[in-house]
Amino acid sequence: MITITEEISRSVEDFKDKLRQYQDGKLDNLKAYSSIMGIYKEGPKPTYMVRSRIAGGVTTVRQLKGISAIAQKYGIKIRFTTRQDIQFHSVSIADLGNVLDDLLHCGLTTRGAGGDGVRNVACSPLSGVARDEAFDVTPYMEKVTNHMMQAADSLKLPRKYKIAFSNNAEDTANATVTDIGFIAKIVNGQRGFAVYGGGGLGGNARLALKLEDFIADTDALYYVQAMKQVFAREGDRSNRHKARLRYVVQRLGEEEFSKVLRKELDQLRNSGQELKLSIQPSKSDLAHTQGKSSFPWEEKYQNIVVPQKQAGFYSVYIHPRQAAIDPGELDRLLNFLSGLDNEPTIRLTLTQGFFVRDLREEAVEALLALVAGFSSLYNIGNSVACVGPTICNFGINDSQELLRDILAAFTPAAEAVKEALPRVLVSGCPNSCGQHQKGLIGFTGRRSRGPNGVIPTYAVSFNGKVGPGSARFGDVYGEIAAEKIAGFLIDLAALKIKSGHTDFEQFIETQEQEVKELVLNYSVNRAAN
């Protein structure tokens, strides 16, 4: 978790002072001070979004009770993000300062949750409990987070700087598509990381370079700091559209970029600055599975119930519909967790949901019943969409409306149809806030000319993925009108069922021609002819 320092508390008071000046007409531009505090105006509306920084997605029942209380106190909405944060929506300008104060009382801050600086450090949400992890990367995320939060220059970069720690090759923290990412591995009994860098989603997306096959775990902070310094010096501060770190890779070339980073590392190590990490194995790392935990639930629950390496314990994935949760629903969930004999842990994910971890079998049963009304068993029901143009100033298409259409189409469908497709990732514009480029199914918002004029459309892509040696962006198969996408997905599910394939990636590869024909049948160009 983030250590709330005097500097963090002072940043809230400084912002409140600027806010008063803005309200008194003495300051013309609030955004210059609000974005670095994770506060953004909501499109044409008079309200604001406030993003609370949840380091690595690590939170507690107590903190979430505080989040719920804030939402109810000010009549605002709660939304989970694709960066393991929690956002408040529809916050009035009069309440901004009070919301920041209340978050501090919960041990939370918004500082650096937006603007040009070090963003929330991502961490695998099952780190510490996953059976197949190399080791628990949570302590490394926490050390890096607090080091970056204490450095003033971490908030004065050319653009956002994203860091990720994944506990295994599944790469659930997106380390292979980010500015600098670490994937845990053990070589000859020594803990360490494979290091990736210079990647990112969005416009001019780029897979991260593999910078090191293995470094000692103690050296991770040196790499984070060195990359930050390279970015601060080499990043383009004159053109925001080309200011991300991946453009430095593009300008210098991969080989030269790697040389520049290694030179920076050497200088940093010789500077006398002590950045070596010393992290002892956590309790979760010392835990061993004593016999295999049973799985007494139907097979369909395997999407959301995960046996832990701690024998007899499970994690349950909860995905509030369209990433938004009603405070009343959240309170019922938290009151249930508070009443358990053991204290569960909670981790937000990069898929707009969260895991409740360290649950015994009987608690899993009760929790599944409790959340059945707002969280789906099926991947398609747990799809991801960016916030959309009603809030975002860059939005092209209403991604939330599309997600509503998809959920409405699949809710009454047969179980086999619901089970057929993976999670869909939707971005209303090319910026990839919905992470469409890494999705097995991704949709990117566009505008195209149809028979009756310009209409909202989406490019559809398949088989994107993350992970060492396998990361790739999805291949675009065509462009479909927004109003036809739900029907297209129903037909795609039917095609997969007919093919007999259970693995979606294999289905796309082996039935490529049939899938392309289906896309063509729904395409904007076909509709216009």
122-269: CATH class: alpha beta
pLDDT digits (tens, 9 = 90+) for 360-387: 999 999 999 999 999 999 999 999 999 9
Query: Distance between the two ends of the chain, CA-based, in angstroms?
Result: 56
User: Which segments of 81-181 does DSSP mark as H helices, in order?
Assistant: 96-105, 138-149
Average pLDDT over all residues of the chain? 95
Residue 437, pLDDT score:
98
pLDDT digits (tens, 9 = 90+) for 257-294: 999 999 999 999 999 899 999 998 876 676 555 456 78
335 has a pLDDT exceeding 50: yes
From CA 478, how far away is CA 2, in angstroms rounded?
A: 44
Domain ranges of the chain: 6-105, 122-269, 309-371, 380-528
β-bridge partners, 122 = 164
Contacts of 32 by beta carbon, 8 Å cutoff, 6+ apart: none
Nearest alpha-carbon partner for 303 in 209, 415, 402: 415
67 has a pLDDT exceeding 80: yes
Structure tokens at 185: 């591995």
What sign for the dihedral angle of Cα 240, 241, 244, 250?
negative
Nearest alpha-carbon partner for 358 in 307, 289, 301: 307
| DSSP 8-state secondary structure symbol assigned to residue 341 | S
From CA 131, how far away is CA 306, in angstroms rounded?
A: 9
Say if residue 136 is exposed, middle or buried (CB neighbours under 10 Å; 0-12, 13-18, 19+). buried
User: Which segments of 24-60 does DSSP mark as H helices, in order?
Assistant: 31-34
pLDDT tier, 515 (very low <50, low <70, confident <90, very high otherwise)? very high
- What's the topology of domain 6-105? Sulfite Reductase Hemoprotein; domain 2 (3.90.480)
Residue 288, pLDDT score:
55
Could you tell me where the beta strands, DSSP code E, fall in 378-465? 384-385, 424-427, 441-450, 453-462
481 has a pLDDT exceeding 60: yes
User: Which segments of 24-125 does DSSP mark as H helices, in order?
Assistant: 31-34, 61-74, 96-105
pLDDT digits (tens, 9 = 90+) for 192-247: 999 999 999 999 999 999 999 999 999 999 999 999 999 999 999 999 999 999 99
- What's the topology of domain 380-528? Sulfite Reductase Hemoprotein; domain 1 (3.30.413)
Residue 528, pLDDT score:
46
122 HSE (CA, 13 A, CB side) = 27
Given this chain, do its domains 122-269 and 380-528 carry the same CATH topology?
Answer: yes
Residue 529, pLDDT score:
45
